[in-house]
């Protein structure tokens, strides 16, 4: 009976592979049970150094240590969790940990965690012995669809986020969508904001599928998560491949981020990155409408779906408009005093293809939209 029933339904895809240029991205439910073999295949080494954080390690580190031990000596380096620890100090402590563990040139670093672990472990790998391979095993939605793809690694300084780092593409990215189940609902929502961003910047059908699958995605349902992660990875990898060093199309990935970063900064990082990006996307779509670049209704459609996902879509009243506008000037994207924005032309298409995918916007208009 059960067998007959399941035969009438199309079998859900349980695994997807995306070619990201120099490396492959595997997305699957339960992939953690294959991590060791896949890591040893993608980046065979004498020593495997796992970097994780205090929240992720208790869930997933032990089986990985045990299974990797079949391939060589393994060490594990657990850092405190959170953006506050994505620093040069943590980089130094992890690097010293690798040296103490006897790691040499023949080491593969394995990043097991969210984007903080991925960026930090990637930067350790980029600099250790002038560069050793890193395999990214992202465990947060944001790390799966965004941080682990593209090869940017780095740490924060007192002057700002991600100001010290290196381009160091991974040897492979291994995303087990089942790990999202232990991620907090707030962090899931924040990751979804970046998935919707991918829909807005490249694929209206994907945006609509995310909309339709929202309850399953919020619930961390593996097959819905797998489809979303796989499509987001394809979009990000394609954009990055077209523009490895961020002179052109890669700028479209900054949609929602000029205002998003400013909001995040002014909130003292009380807003999660994805929450700030959600507000930023809605406001930047409104700017695009005011400039006549986007179809009317674009901002409204984005706002409605993000609100349904439980994300904020308006400037929190406590954050001053002046402070936010000032903070946009701190962004790396500001050039000669004019703040550049990558703006949507509608759902699935970006504006300013002819002018390098970004445009300067007057502070006055930004003020009006924020008010
Ligand atoms: N390199 C890039 O291209 C790129 C792109 C986007 C973002 N980033 C960076 O990524 C970082 C944000 O990533 P994030 O949102 O994953 O933050 P994060 O790494 O801080 O993870 C968020 C929280 O979830 C916990 N966590 C992660 N996976 C878990 C799991 N499966 N179960 C339980 N808890 C889990 C973490 O311990 C942390 O407390 C930022 O530092 C940002 O700059 C980098
Ligand atoms: Zn982002």
Of the candidates 71, 161, 250, 315, the residue annotated as catalytic is: 250
CB 90 within 8 A of CB 116: no
Ligand 1 atom nearest the C-alpha of 274 is 15
Entry pTM = 0.94
Per-residue pLDDT, 331? 67
CA–centroid distance, 260 to ligand 2, in Å, is 8
Q: What is the pLDDT of residue 354?
A: 87
Residue 227: partners with Cβ closer than 8 Å, 6 or more residues away: 13, 209, 213
pLDDT of residue 226: 98
**Residue 250 a catalytic site member:** yes
- Ligand 1-lining residues (CB < 6 angstroms): 53, 55-56, 59, 81-83, 86, 113-117, 119, 139-140, 142-143, 146-147, 150, 152, 161-162, 179, 182-183, 187, 273
Q: Is the dihedral of CA 242, 332, 359, 299 positive or negative?
A: positive
Work out the widest C-alpha separation in the chain, in whole angstroms. Answer: 69
- Consecutive H or E run containing 327: helix 321-328
Strands (E), 291-371: 340-341, 344-346, 349-350, 359-360
Under-50 pLDDT residues of the chain: 1-6
List of domains in the chain: 15-182 (3.40.50.1970), 188-219+242-370 (1.20.1090.10)
The owner of tokens 């506008």 is 325
pLDDT for the residue numbered 335:
60
């Amino acid at each position: 009976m059960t067998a007959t029933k399941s035969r009438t339904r199309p079998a859900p895809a349980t695994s997807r592979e995306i070619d990201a240029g120099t490396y492959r991205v595997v997305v699957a439910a339960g992939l953690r049970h294959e991590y060791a073999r896949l890591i040893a295949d993608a980046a065979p080494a004498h020593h495997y150094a796992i970097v994780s954080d205090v929240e992720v390690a208790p869930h997933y580190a032990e089986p990985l240590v045990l299974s990797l031990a079949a391939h060589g000596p393994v060490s594990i380096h657990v850092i405190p969790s959170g953006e506050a620890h994505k620093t040069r100090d943590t980089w130094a402590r992890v690097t010293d940990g690798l040296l103490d563990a006897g790691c040499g040139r023949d080491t593969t670093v394995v990043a097991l965690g969210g984007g903080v672990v991925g960026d930090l472990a990637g930067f350790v790998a980029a600099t250790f012995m002038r560069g050793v391979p890193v395999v990214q095993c992202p465990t947060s939605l944001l790390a799966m669809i965004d941080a682990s793809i593209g090869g940017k690694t780095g740490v924060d300084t007192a002057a700002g986020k991600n100001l010290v780092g290196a381009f160091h593409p991974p040897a492979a990215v291994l995303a087990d969508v089942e790990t999202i189940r232990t991620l907090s609902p707030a962090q899931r929502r924040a990751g979804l904001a970046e998935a919707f961003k991918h829909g807005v910047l490249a694929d209206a059908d994907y945006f609509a599928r995310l909309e339709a699958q929202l309850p399953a995605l919020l619930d961390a349902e593996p097959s819905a998560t797998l489809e979303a992660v796989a499509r987001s990875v394809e979009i990000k990898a394609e954009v990055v491949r077209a523009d490895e060093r961020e002179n052109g199309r890669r700028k479209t990935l900054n949609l929602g981020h000029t205002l998003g970063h400013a909001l995040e900064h002014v909130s003292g990082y009380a807003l999660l990155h994805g929450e700030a990006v959600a507000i930023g996307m809605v406001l930047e779509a409104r700017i695009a409408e005011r400039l006549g670049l986007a179809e009317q209704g674009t901002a409204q459609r984005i706002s409605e779906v993000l609100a349904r996902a439980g994300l904020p879509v308006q400037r929190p009243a406590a954050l001053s408009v002046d402070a936010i506008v000032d903070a946009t000037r701190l962004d790396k994207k500001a050039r000669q005093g004019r703040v550049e924005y990558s703006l949507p032309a509608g759902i699935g298409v970006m504006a300013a293809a002819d002018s390098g995918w970004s445009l300067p916007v007057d502070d006055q208009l930004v003020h009006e939209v924020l008010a």
